[in-house]
Structure 1
Amino acid sequence: MTEEAPGVDDISSRRSLRPLGGVLTAMAVSLTGTRISVVALPWFVLVTTGSATQTGLVAFCEMTPYVVAKAFTGPLVDRIGPRAVSWTTDLASAAAAAAVPLLHVLDLLSFPFLLVLVALIGVARGPGDLAKEVMVPEAAERGRVPLERATGLSGVTERLASTVGLAVGGSLVALLGPLTALTANAGCFALGSVIIKLALPRGMGHAAEEAPSPAGETEPGYWRRFGEGFTFLCGEPLLFTVIVTVGIINLLDAAFTAVLVPVWARESGNGPAAIGLMGSMMGAAAVGGSLIAAVVAHRLRRRVVVLTGFLLAGAPRFLILAVDAPLGVVLAVFAVSGFGAGFVNPVLGAVLVERVPRRMLGRVNGLGDSLAWSGIPLGGLIAGAAVTAVGLVPVLLACGVAYFLTTNLAGLRPEWREMDRTRGRGVLKRHPEENAPRNSADVTT
């Protein structure tokens, strides 16, 4: 008696899901390394220098190059292809991250040199993260996966990486020290590079096809591509409003993660293990929220989902640390915040991809992300100086109030109503200018 051979449909289904699985796996590995560094690097600086200001300066020197590189490499991602950009930049990130513990052990790591290394990490991470984001909609289309579901799974991946990375980072720092955690960070970047290079199908992640140029015109150069992305973004009020709102929120979150939480952990006596535990609790709840969003978000009113998620995810985290609550209460609040946060990114990601032509996704996504992340470098810097000047509790209270006002005032903007008017249906919905066939060979019956 012989076993029945797999059906053609089964084999085809597995192959069609391979691109999305490969991209999400590489994203998970790289983001896990980044989240390990979120615990290890600030703690390393804080315990070696004792300065909240210098801790914020390190965050500034990593995130400023990250934002700038992400903004200006969008046209290159579109032209070269996200796959090549992703694996090469992950490899560069691994080398720079590995240099930090190595040079410290050799007693060659001065503080200025540390700033240079974290800046190099930021320069490499920006285009690497962008390239993986750009490959998600292509992978969804290949696998015939609804867009909200694909972006939901991307959100699950991000949250799961946060959960695992923060837990591993906190444990490694507490048990073996921050240098071991930073070494693990470098290993994650290297593994992510290998996955993108070897595991994805060969036809995946190549340069997007440009719209045909008028007769006699040459292929658009870098600055023309960049200008097209900027012009398109300025002509989309919904996207621009969302980006400004998220930019303010990201500044506050950066202050929270890079400075306020480490200082709270030290002053409260809870230590680095509490940082990992809090992050893991929030991340685990966010995974649950993202999973639910991946299944049902395409059936819900987007604006209500996003604003409710912001309400739960934001101000409560700041306020609970300000009132010196027991760790158990802090963890419960972080769990609720994480659950709300899990619903936000899948919806916003779907809105972005629906409204942007595929050929421009790299440059528009890069510009949008860089604008949304532009406050992150300043978050740690401002928080470090503010904590030094007035203390931890006043800064926590001010940030919590600012988060609440930002998200609630944004909900009153008329542009946000467009979220519920531009829903994708079924498989990835292309931008209108991509719906028309390019030539007669593209028409099938």
Structure 2
Amino acid sequence: MSLRLTRPRMQRIPLYGWLTAEAISLLGTRISMIAIPWLVLTTTGSPTQTGLVAFAEIAPMVLFKACGGPLVDRVGPRRMAIGADTLSFLVVGLIPVLHHAGALGFPLLLGLVAIAGALRGPGDAATAALVPALVERAAVPYERATGLSSAIDRGATMVGAAIAGGLVATVGAANAVAIDAVSFGVCALLLLVTTRSLEPARVEATSEPDRHEMPTSYAAELRDGWNVLRRDSVLMSLAVMVAVTNLLDLAWSAVLLPVWARDSGAGIGAVGLVFSVWGGASMLGALVAAAYGTRLPRFATYLVAYLITGLPRFVLFAIGVPLWVILAMCVIGGASSGFLNPVLGAVTFERIPREMVGRVTALNSALCWSLMPFGGVLGGLLISGMGLSTAMLVVGFAYFATTMAPALIPSFRGMNRQLPATVEPTPSPRDPLQLVS
């Protein structure tokens, strides 16, 4: 009887360990997003060099995420995630060490940041590729895992900036980067200890090799992943849609929102307040989606959530409403946005063949991130050309058109649930989970 009571909890240890590692990793990322640019700005005084550092991290991350999928499938997502975190601990840790030694020139910093971005690409892809195995092992719906992950992401956004600002102010930017480095090491250790049961079983060699198991070239595996993505109209269309919304969201957060704070007199404190309220409401929405998402129709949830979280935000900023109205909108829009990642994540994982989850999720994620480096440029050009209010409306209606286009495409009804809401647990607690890698 005792074994029956404890077995479900034991099966969920990998999921809980993964979620804990996600929380630590995201907080570390939020710290580095503020600490590294501030370190560059205070040591060089150059906004241009500060921008170059951001580009040096994002560009390799997108490139290596796109190209690293077959490696994730070959090595296995668990081993790749642990390896990437371990190497990131060493690479990011060199930044504060070299800075305090007086040996951190700008070209060397660019190189280290680029290597860190290159490691983060396949590392993030491998972490995401663990989800199907975690869901199967824990016997929970996809919405539960993706919803909890999304809630952690939103919560990290809410508190991460405050923690980062406090760390930079009290211990300095370089030491804050050191804390980010330590977070990579902690994540690697957590995954190593809590996800042992996700190791693939050893397969005995057979007398006649299966033709499906014959080795293929890396390029062929990458091409196979791309073919799966592009031939699935729902996955491909969602990836393009998210890429465009990421572009527009970055234009808003990086340029339009700070300019609004300056021109309206609200001040930079209002920017932090908007992000905190939005992030907190979004975290609550994601928690509700994690608990009740399986009862909701995915396609309808997608449409309603984007209707609420999209265009109204930009219209209110454009017409110049008081700050309290903006914050009320952040509560409603943020809570609605919390339902999106659980839905989109569940749709994505259900439609990808298990043996190709690494390469397809990596390509999908890279495509979603591909336009983000240009968001700030877009926001600046729009404000320079047409003013803040018009720029807000242009971005808002572009957001509306992009997110509502699926309503006109019948194939998007395929977003609705493809698999049973729960996955049966593995037959025996002694049998390791089968992972194709």
8 Å contact 1:77–1:207 — kept in the other structure?
no
Amino acid at match of 1:166: A
- Is residue 2:359 matched to residue 1:350? no
- Is residue 2:144 matched to residue 1:153? no
8 Å contact 1:52–1:387 — kept in the other structure?
no
Equivalent position to 1:19, from 2, 8, 14: 14
Of the structure 1 ranges 7-16 and 305-314, higher mean CA displacement relative to structure 2 is found in 305-314
Equivalent position to 1:60, from 48, 55, 60: 55
- Is residue 2:299 matched to residue 1:303? yes
Equivalent position to 1:426, from 417, 421, 424: 421
Amino acid at match of 2:362: G
* SS in structure 1 at match of 2:348: helix
Of the structure 1 ranges 341-350 and 219-228, higher mean CA displacement relative to structure 2 is found in 219-228
Shift of 1:118: 2.8
TM-score by length of 2: 0.84
Shift of 1:402: 2.0
* SS in structure 1 at match of 2:401: helix
Aligned to 1:3: none
Aligned to 1:129: 124
Of the structure 1 ranges 351-360 and 174-183, higher mean CA displacement relative to structure 2 is found in 174-183
Shift of 1:271: 6.7
Equivalent position to 1:204, from 184, 198, 206: 198
In structure 1, the gaps of 5 or more residues are 1-5, 430-441
Amino acid at match of 2:239: I
Aligned to 1:434: none
Of the structure 1 ranges 249-258 and 131-140, higher mean CA displacement relative to structure 2 is found in 249-258
Aligned to 1:143: 138
Shift of 1:311: 2.5
- Is residue 2:360 matched to residue 1:367? no
Alpha-carbon separation, structure 2, partners of 1:174 and 1:277: 19
Deviations, residues 261-307 of structure 1 (Å, cap 9, x unaligned): 55656777777665544333222111111111112222222112112
8 Å contact 2:303–2:404 — kept in the other structure?
yes
How does 1:38-437 map onto structure 2 within 5 Å? 38-42=33-37, 56-104=51-99, 108-173=103-168, 178-200=173-195, 202-206=196-200, 214-215=210-211, 218-261=214-257, 274-322=270-318, 327-383=323-379, 395-420=391-416, 422-428=417-423
8 Å contact 1:315–1:400 — kept in the other structure?
yes
Alpha-carbon separation, structure 1, partners of 2:264 and 2:93: 31
Change (3 A) 1:23 1:62: same
Shift of 1:351: 0.9
Shift of 1:116: 3.0
Deviations, residues 163-191 of structure 1 (Å, cap 9, x unaligned): 23233224434666544543333232222
Amino acid at match of 1:65: P
Deviations, residues 383-424 of structure 1 (Å, cap 9, x unaligned): 45666777766544433332222112333222212113x432
Deviations, residues 85-104 of structure 1 (Å, cap 9, x unaligned): 11221233333434445555
Of the structure 1 ranges 133-142 and 98-107, higher mean CA displacement relative to structure 2 is found in 98-107
Change (3 A) 1:141 1:217: closer
Shift of 1:35: 2.2
Alpha-carbon separation, structure 1, partners of 2:234 and 2:74: 27
Change (3 A) 1:123 1:264: farther
Shift of 1:80: 0.4
Amino acid at match of 2:303: L
8 Å contact 2:246–2:369 — kept in the other structure?
yes
Amino acid at match of 2:219: W
TM-score by length of 1: 0.82
8 Å contact 1:78–1:207 — kept in the other structure?
no
Shift of 1:313: 2.7
Alpha-carbon separation, structure 1, partners of 2:237 and 2:4: 43
Change (3 A) 1:127 1:206: farther
Aligned to 1:32: 27
Change (3 A) 1:102 1:403: farther
Deviations, residues 319-377 of structure 1 (Å, cap 9, x unaligned): 55555655544433323222111101111111111111111111111111111111122
* Cα-Cα RMSD: 3.4
Shift of 1:249: 0.7
Alpha-carbon separation, structure 2, partners of 1:163 and 1:89: 26
Alpha-carbon separation, structure 2, partners of 1:283 and 1:175: 24
8 Å contact 1:39–1:276 — kept in the other structure?
no
Alpha-carbon separation, structure 1, partners of 2:57 and 2:325: 32
Alpha-carbon separation, structure 1, partners of 2:266 and 2:184: 29
Change (3 A) 1:96 1:408: same
Change (3 A) 1:235 1:135: same
Alpha-carbon separation, structure 2, partners of 1:295 and 1:331: 26
Deviations, residues 198-234 of structure 1 (Å, cap 9, x unaligned): 332x23154999xx97549732232222121111112
Instruction: State the number of aligned residues.
Output: 422
8 Å contact 1:309–1:340 — kept in the other structure?
yes
Amino acid at match of 2:361: N
Change (3 A) 1:384 1:98: farther
* SS in structure 2 at match of 1:11: helix
Alpha-carbon separation, structure 1, partners of 2:222 and 2:159: 36
